[in-house]
A and B are shown apart, each in its own frame.
Chain A
Amino acid sequence: MSSEKISIMRSIFEENSRISGSIKEDLSARGILAVNILGSPGAGKTSCLTRIIDTLKAENVYAIEGDIETDIDTCTLKAMGIEAYQINTGGACHLDAPMVRAALDKMNPSGPGVLFIENVGNLICPVEFAVGEHLKLLVCSLTEGSDKPYKYPSAFMKADIILLNKCDLKPYLDFDSGFFYNGVCALNKTAPVFEVSGKTGEGFGEVVEWLGERIRR
């Protein structure tokens, strides 16, 4: 018996990233833009998504919903006429590329358009596990506090677009906008921040304009 040391320097996300890359390639070939929606539980990811879908004039809209349990969100989307597929992770706190691959094999989206992948509510691992997306859309909300960028810097660094939700509650909360925006600007110079309200629908015109430009590309 002897021992052998192997230097491998292998990222723990390598296998997931490989599958994510192949999903992205496959979706690009079909003319589908994939948007990974990230945010804490209760940030308003589904409310924002339904507002986006309502405002968006995309030819084909597909959705994959990730939740630990229940198909409540998928039922909401199906009621809107959207082709939606539910993934219940059964305890896992994020979606990963193999889960999304399996869902897409069942859905088989054909026409060009947009695929929204609503991740499990969590700001830690969904940021690290790519699921084949072209864009990461981060939903945060006024009720979560203005220190979110400082507490979860990775989520803000990796986002391509940020929605600051529940803006209709601004008069009732002590949200420090300056502190929030300073943090976002320090971490991410390119992602636009849109102030929205899933409740009133305010701000989604601009969000959809930004997304629409990327869907058509």
Chain B
Amino acid sequence: MHEYPVTSEIVRVAAECAAEKKAARVIRIAIVVGELTGFIGDSIRMYFEAVSKGTPAEGAKLEIEYAAAELICISCRNTFRYHDYRLHCPFCGSTCRFSDSSRELYIKEIELEIMDISEVVI
């Protein structure tokens, strides 16, 4: 349920890119899901099939890369994975902050099928 709107946005952006490049279709979409966002890759994949139907992204391969929920100690700068309710540094006991990557959800790359070979850079 939580993944439906984000999947719609992925399809919208991919279709927008395809239109901009006058592409025949979208071949592949690579996304990065930060674990801390709480969004589940498998659910995005499930919605993707339905949401992309009838759009240039229909049939595209959806590649999902996960960014682990990683904590960075604000004192000793050590990094470690978040688990077992541990929010403090296991090395020095100081407070930590979550890495930016664990909090992000973004489209990394889109591959398009182009009718005419042309060099275009976004």
Q: B65 at the A/B interface (Cβ < 8 Å)? A: no
Which residues of A, 1-28, contact B by the 8 Å Cβ criterion? 1-13, 15-16
Partner of B108, one of A7, A91, A154: A7
Known A153-B98, A187-B87; judge A1-B107 contact (CB<8 A): no
B105 and A10 contacting across the interface, CB-CB below 8 Å: no
Q: Which 3 A-B pairs have the closest CB atoms?
A: A186-B87, A124-B38, A150-B85
- Give the interface of B toward A (CB within 8 A): 1-2, 4-6, 9-10, 12-13, 17, 21, 23-24, 27, 31, 36-39, 82, 85, 87-88, 95-96, 98, 103-115, 117, 120, 122
Instruction: Name the residue of chain A whose CB is nearest to the CB of B6.
Output: A12
B111 and A4 contacting across the interface, CB-CB below 8 Å: yes
A96 and B85 contacting across the interface, CB-CB below 8 Å: no
The smallest C-beta distance from B23 to any residue of chain A, in angstroms, reads: 7
B110 and A6 contacting across the interface, CB-CB below 8 Å: yes
A12 and B114 contacting across the interface, CB-CB below 8 Å: no
Q: How many A-B residue pairs have CB under 8 A?
A: 105
A6 and B109 contacting across the interface, CB-CB below 8 Å: yes
Q: A192 at the A/B interface (Cβ < 8 Å)? A: no
* Candidate in B38, B85, B110, B112 with the most chain A CB atoms within 10 angstroms: B38
A96 and B105 contacting across the interface, CB-CB below 8 Å: no
Instruction: Name the residue of chain A whose CB is nearest to the CB of B103.
Output: A154
The smallest C-beta distance from A5 to any residue of chain B, in angstroms, reads: 5
Which residues of A, 164-196, contact B by the 8 Å Cβ criterion? 182-183, 185-187, 189
